[in-house]
Amino acid sequence: MRQIIIMALYNNPHSNSLAGEEDIRAELLKHLDSVATSDGCLLHWSQSSSERADSLAVETSSYVLLAVLTKPTLTAADLGYASRIVNWLGKQQNPYGGFSSTQDTVVALQALALYATKVFSPHGFNTVTVQSAGGDKHQFDVNQYNTLLYQDVPGKYSVEVTG
């Protein structure tokens, strides 16, 4: 049943099967939200309770993310909701950036790429604070001009990023 709802919400990246039917979209998303697995800043859809998600959970959650992101108008609340799905998906990635199978990897990367286009700001910046157990603290800003610059802070530190 969930797969049918998700496919109704998101048919493919180039055509919205619910174009002009925002009341139906809202009702379907509300139903999906009621059956989601929520854990703080993580949100996903699964039929199993294993810590490491199966391929279907990754694919299903990715389709929900696509459905949320293809709404005609995105609000800050929509992006916050989407970020919880993105956080969960990020925890499911393997060390090579993929997921369990080719199919779930394709759908998840498509959803994550769309999310990146919705939240990207060329004028944004992050402040990175790196602190050692001994109390040494280093802080630096990451912006569009130095985002790819390697900034070395020797030693063992914890890291906090805001922005």
Q: 95 and 47, same structural domain?
A: yes
Q: What percent of the chain is helix, strand and coil (3-state, nearest 5)? A: 45, 15, 40
Please state the domain count of the chain: 2
The pLDDT score that the predictor gives to residue 14 is 42
Instruction: Say which CATH number the domain at 111 has.
Output: 1.50.10.20
- Range scoring the smallest mean pLDDT among 87-101, 117-131, 146-160: 146-160
pLDDT, mean over the chain: 83
In tens, the pLDDT along 49-98 reads: 665 568 899 999 999 999 999 988 899 999 999 999 999 999 999 988 89
The pLDDT score that the predictor gives to residue 13 is 44
Q: 73 and 95, same structural domain?
A: yes
Instruction: Please report the beta strands in the chain, taking only residues with DSSP state E, as ranges in sequence order.
Output: 37-39, 42-44, 126-132, 137-142, 157-162
Which pTM was predicted? 0.70
Q: 74 and 38, same structural domain?
A: yes
Q: 110 and 136, same structural domain?
A: no
